[in-house]
Chain A
Amino acid sequence: MAEIAKTSRRAFLRGSAAVAAGAVAGKAAAQTAPDPVITELQDWASFTGAGVDETPYGMPIRFEADVVRRNVEWLTASPISSINFTPIHALDGTITPQGCAFERHHSGAIELSKSDYRLMINGLVDRPLVFTYADLERFPRENHVYFCECAANTGMEWAGAQLNGAQFTHGMIHNMEYTGIPLRTLLNEAGLDAAGDLSDKWVYVEGADASSNGRSIPMDKALDDVLVAFKANGEALRMEHGYPVRLVVPGWEGNMWVKWLRRVEVTDMAVESREETSKYTDLYADGTARKWTWVMDAKSVITSPSPQMPITHGTGPLVVSGLAWSGHGRITRVDVSTDGGANWQTARLGKQGDSKALTRFYFDMDWDGSPMLLQSRAMDETGYIQPTKHQLREVRGENAVYHNNCIQTWYVNEEGIAENVEVS
Chain B
Amino acid sequence: MSKSLNLFLPALGGAALLLGAGYGIASRDYGRSTIDTLAVRVEQTEASVAAAVAQAQAAEATAIAAAAERDTLQQALAEAGSRGGDLTAPAPASTASYGLGRDAHPDEMAAWDVDVLPDGRGLPPGSGDVWTGEELFVQQCAACHGDFAEGVDNWPVLAGGMDTLADEDPVKTVGSYWPYLSTAWDYIHRSMPFGAAGTLTADETYAIVAYILYSNYLVEDDFVLSHETFADVDMYNADGFVIDDRPELEYTQWRGEPCMTDCKSAVEITMRSSVLGVTPDTDTEATLQDDASADTTMVSASASGDDAGLDGGNVDPELVAAGERAFRQCASCHEVGPGASNRVGPMLNGIIGSTIGTIDGFRYSGTFQNAASAGEVWNADNLGAFLADPDGTMEGTRMAFRGVRDEAEITALIAYLETFGGE
Contact = CB atoms under 8 A, between A and B. Distances in A.
Interface of A: 1-4, 6-7, 10, 62-63, 65-66, 70-78, 80-81, 106-108, 111, 120-123, 127-132, 135, 138-142, 160-165, 167-168, 181-182, 184-185, 188-189, 191, 204, 206, 210-212, 214, 262-263, 265, 267, 269-274, 277-278, 281, 283, 285-295, 297, 307-308, 335, 339-345, 373, 377, 379, 382-387, 391, 395, 398-399, 411, 419-424
B108 A73 contact: no
Nearest to A75: B154
Nearest to A269: B117
A262 B272 contact: no
A7 to B, nearest CB: 8
Nearest to A420: B273
Question: Which of B168, B254, B262 lies at the interface centre, i.e. has the most chain A CB atoms within 10 A of its CB?
Answer: B254
Query: Could you tell me the dominant secondary structure of chain B's interface residues?
Result: loop
Interface of B: 3, 90-98, 100-105, 108-109, 112-113, 115-119, 144, 153-155, 165-166, 168, 170, 172, 174, 177-180, 182-184, 186-187, 190-191, 194-195, 197-198, 240-246, 249-251, 254-256, 258-285, 287-288, 294, 325, 328, 331-332
A166 B117 CA distance: 40
A168 B242 CA distance: 30
B117 A138 contact: no
Per CB-CB distance, the 7 closest pairs between chain A and chain B, nearest first, are: A287-B166, A340-B267, A287-B165, A77-B154, A140-B91, A4-B274, A420-B273
B166 A286 contact: yes
B190 A212 contact: yes
Contacts of B259: 344
B268 A423 contact: yes
A262 B113 CA distance: 11
Contacts of A211: 191, 197
A206 B279 contact: no
Contact of A122 (B104, B180, B191, B198): B104
A66 B284 contact: yes
Nearest to B118: A272
6 contacts: A7-B274, A185-B91, A267-B117, A290-B242, A387-B254, A421-B272
B304 to A, nearest CB: 19
B113 A263 contact: yes
Given A273-B115, A339-B267, A419-B274, A120 B241 contact: no
A106 B240 CA distance: 25
Given A188-B95, A422-B269, A273 B186 contact: yes
A185 B108 CA distance: 22
B277 A122 contact: no
A282 to B, nearest CB: 9
B32 to A, nearest CB: 18
Nearest to B55: A127
B262 A342 contact: yes
Contacts of B179: 272, 277
Given A184-B93, A189-B98, A212-B191, A277 B178 contact: yes
B206 to A, nearest CB: 17
A204 B270 contact: no
A206 B187 CA distance: 12
Contacts of A391: 254
